Structure 1
Amino acid sequence: MFNLEWYRIFLQTARYGNLTKAAQALHITQPSVSYAMKQMEEALGIKLFNRLSKGVELTKEGQSLLEYVEQSFTLLDAAEKHVLNLKQLTEGEIRIGSSDSLIKHLLLPQLNAFHKEYPDIRIRLSHGKTPDIAKRLKDGLIDCALIHMPVHDPQLDIHPVAALEDCFVAGSAYADLARRSLTAAELAKLPLLLLSPGSSTRLHIDQWFAAKGLRVTPEIELGSVDLLAEFAGLNYGAAFITRSFVKEALDQGKLIELPLADRLPARSIGFAVVRDRKLSLAAERFTEMLLSRMLS
C-alpha cells in the first residue's frame, strides 16, 4: 500500500498538530484531511494520531513513521531540485571519447567554449584509439566521440566535422630531402616513425604503402603525435603526422616537411553518437554547440 497524497497530508498534519491548519497549508478542506488520515490508519492497521480537543498529536507509532516520511520528502525535494538543475544545465556531465591528438588539437577549443558557457557541467574525457572509442560509445560508457574516419558501423550516427591533411616531417638532418619530391619507395627506405599498431592513423599509412606494393617496418613506434614530432625533430627519422598538428613547429623551422611525389589521400574526422540513443541534456547541448561551431 502506498498513497503519496496520504503521506503528504500526514506530514502536514503532524507538523501543524491541527487538521484545519494542515488543510489550509495543503489547500484542501478539513474533512478531506480527516478522511485521508482515517483511511491511512485503516490501511496501516495502526493509530497515527490521538485526537485532542484543540488538535491532534502523534502516537508513538505515528512519531516513528514521521521520521521516515520526513526523510522521504526531503529526498523527493532534493531529486526534484536536481532534475531542475539538469534541465537548466547547472548540473550534469558529458562523457566524450577521442584520441589524445584530437582532444588537444580539435576538441579542446570546443570544450573551452562549452565550459565557459556551462561551468557547472562536469566534463569527463576518455582517450584511446578509434576502434576502442567506438566500442565504448556503443557500450554506453561515453556519450559522444571524435573519431578518425572512415568508420562503417550501422549503430553509429557520424557527422564529418573536419578534414585532415597528413604529411611526413623530419628534423634538420633531412633538409636535403626537402628540396625534391620523394616517391613512396624512397620514403620507405628512410627510418620511419609511426603510431603504434591498432590506430586508424597507422592503418591508414600502412594501407597507403601496401597500395604501392610496399611493406614498411617502422624504426620507432610511439603512442602519441607529440612524441612523434619530438623524435622527428631530434632527427630519429621521418614521422607520419597530421600537418595542422605540427603547423607551429613547421612555421618555426623546428620540423621540415618532406615533399611527396605520390599524394597522400585526405582523411576526415567525424563526430559520433549512437543512433537512436537519447543523450543527456548536457550531452545534447554540447553536441548542438560542437556541430554548430565546427560546421559553420
Structure 2
Amino acid sequence: MTIHTEWYRIFMYAAQFGNLTKAGQMLHMTQPSVSYAIKQLEEALGMTLFDRLSKGVRLTQEGQLLFEHVKLAFAHLDTGEKQMRQLKQFKDGQVRIGANGAIIKDILLPKLDLFHQSYPDIHVRLIQNRTSLIVQHLKEGKLDIGFIHLPLDDSELAIKYTAPLRNCFVVGARYRELAEYVVTTAQLLTIPLLLLSAGSRTRSFVEQWFSRQGYTIDADIELNSLEMLAVFAERGYGAAFVPRSYVEAELARGVLFELHTEVPIDDRQFGIATRRDLTLSLPTAKFLELFQHEA
C-alpha cells in the first residue's frame, strides 16, 4: 500500500492534540476523515499507532517512536519552506563569482557595492583568478558567474554580457619623456617590459600585438599582479602593460604616464560567463540584472 505524506501530517496533529476532533479542526477536516487516514496509515505500516480512549487517543510505544521521526521531518520541511521564502525575498542565498584583478577593480566592484547595499543578506563569494581557471571552476560547479577575457569558444558556457577594456603601456617619471610623443614599437622595446606572467590572457594579448609587428618579446620583469606591475613602473623599472582604468588614479596624480604607441592597441573584450545547462539561482540572476545595460 502506498503511504501518502498527508497521512503523516494528520498522524502528527492527532498525536500532538491527543484528540481526533481537535486535530480535524486544526486541519480543516472532519473527525471521520482524520480517523480514516490514521487507520490507513496503521494498515500500511502493519501496527497500531494509537490506543483509542474514551476521551481521545494516546500514542502506543510504536506510535511514539514514529511521532519523533515525523515531527522532525515536518520541522525540516517547514525550515525548507521558510528558506525558500527568504530566497524569494533575497534575504538568504549566495553568489559565487570568479574574476581577475582588472575586472574586479573597474567592472565588478562598483556593481558589487550596489548589490550589497540592496541585498545585504546575500553572501558574496569572490575568487580572483585567471580566465582559464575561472572557466574550469564554472564547469566544475564551484562558481556561478565568471568574468572572463574574450574571445572564448566553449559550448558549455553562455556569455551573457560583454564590454570593452582598454589596455596601455605606462611608465614612471624615469621614462616620462617617452609619454610626450608617439612612440614606435622599436622605441618601446628599448626599455624593460613589465608584464603579467606567461599563460595569462593579458600576456598572450600583448605578445600577439608585438607578434603582428614582427617582434618576439620576453618580459624583463614578470609578475602575477597588476598592482605590482604598476608599482614597479612607478619606481622606474620599465613600461608596464596594464588596463588603463586600473591605473587611472596614478595617471591623474602624475606618478604614472601613459605611452601613446604608433600602432594602436585594440580594446579587449570581457564577458560574463555562466553554465549553459544550469538554471541560475535567484540571487545570481538578480546580480546579473545589474549588467543588462552592458549588453
CA distance, structure 2, for counterparts of residue 14 and residue 154 of structure 1: 55
Return 168-177 or 156-165, whichever deviates more. Answer: 156-165
CA distance, structure 2, for counterparts of residue 107 and residue 22 of structure 1: 54
Q: In the alignment, what sits opposite 1:184?
A: 185
Indicate the SS of the match to 1:50: strand
CA distance, structure 2, for counterparts of residue 178 and residue 75 of structure 1: 66
CA distance, structure 1, for counterparts of residue 244 and residue 101 of structure 2: 16
Q: In the alignment, what sits opposite 2:105?
A: 104
Q: TM-score, normalised by structure 2?
A: 0.95
Indicate the SS of the match to 2:202: helix
Q: In the alignment, what sits opposite 2:44?
A: 43
Q: In the alignment, what sits opposite 2:162?
A: 161
CA distance, structure 2, for counterparts of residue 40 and residue 192 of structure 1: 78
CA distance, structure 2, for counterparts of residue 207 and residue 42 of structure 1: 76
CA distance, structure 1, for counterparts of residue 143 and residue 169 of structure 2: 33
CA distance, structure 1, for counterparts of residue 287 and residue 162 of structure 2: 14
Deviations, residues 133-176 of structure 1 (Å, cap 9, x unaligned): 12222222211121112222232222443222211111111122
Indicate the SS of the match to 1:279: coil
Would you say 1:267 and 2:253 are equivalent positions?
no
Contact 1:160 1:268 in 2 (8 A): no
Deviations, residues 65-94 of structure 1 (Å, cap 9, x unaligned): 111111111111001111111122111111
Deviation at 1:276, TM superposition (A): 4.1
CA distance, structure 1, for counterparts of residue 55 and residue 276 of structure 2: 63
Deviation at 1:189, TM superposition (A): 2.6
Would you say 1:77 and 2:117 are equivalent positions?
no
Q: Percent identity?
A: 48
Return 175-184 or 243-252, whichever deviates more. Answer: 175-184
Deviation at 1:221, TM superposition (A): 0.6
Deviation at 1:2, TM superposition (A): 3.3
The root-mean-square deviation of aligned C-alpha atoms, in Å, is 1.4
The amino acid of 2:233's aligned partner reads A
The unaligned stretches of length 5 or more in structure 1 are none
CA distance, structure 1, for counterparts of residue 243 and residue 108 of structure 2: 15
Contact 1:49 1:59 in 2 (8 A): yes
Would you say 1:130 and 2:131 are equivalent positions?
yes
Return 137-146 or 164-173, whichever deviates more. Answer: 137-146
CA distance, structure 2, for counterparts of residue 290 and residue 150 of structure 1: 19
CA distance, structure 1, for counterparts of residue 100 and residue 235 of structure 2: 24
The amino acid of 1:155's aligned partner reads E
Would you say 1:114 and 2:115 are equivalent positions?
yes
The amino acid of 1:112's aligned partner reads D
The amino acid of 1:161's aligned partner reads T
Contact 2:161 2:292 in 1 (8 A): no
Q: Which runs of 4+ in 1 moved over 6 A?
A: none
Q: In the alignment, what sits opposite 1:11?
A: 12
The unaligned stretches of length 5 or more in structure 2 are none
Cα 1:87–1:160 shift into 2, 3 Å? closer
CA distance, structure 2, for counterparts of residue 28 and residue 12 of structure 1: 12
User: Following superposition of structure 1 onto structure 2, how do residues 1-296 of structure 1 map, counting pairs within 5 Å?
Assistant: 2-292=3-293, 294=294
- Would you say how many aligned residue pairs link Structure 1 and Structure 2? 294
Contact 1:129 1:198 in 2 (8 A): no
The amino acid of 1:195's aligned partner reads L
The amino acid of 1:100's aligned partner reads G
Q: TM-score, normalised by structure 1?
A: 0.95
Indicate the SS of the match to 1:259: strand
The amino acid of 1:113's aligned partner reads L
CA distance, structure 1, for counterparts of residue 16 and residue 137 of structure 2: 50
The amino acid of 2:205's aligned partner reads H
Contact 2:174 2:236 in 1 (8 A): yes
Contact 1:188 1:214 in 2 (8 A): no
Deviations, residues 265-288 of structure 1 (Å, cap 9, x unaligned): 121221222224210111011111
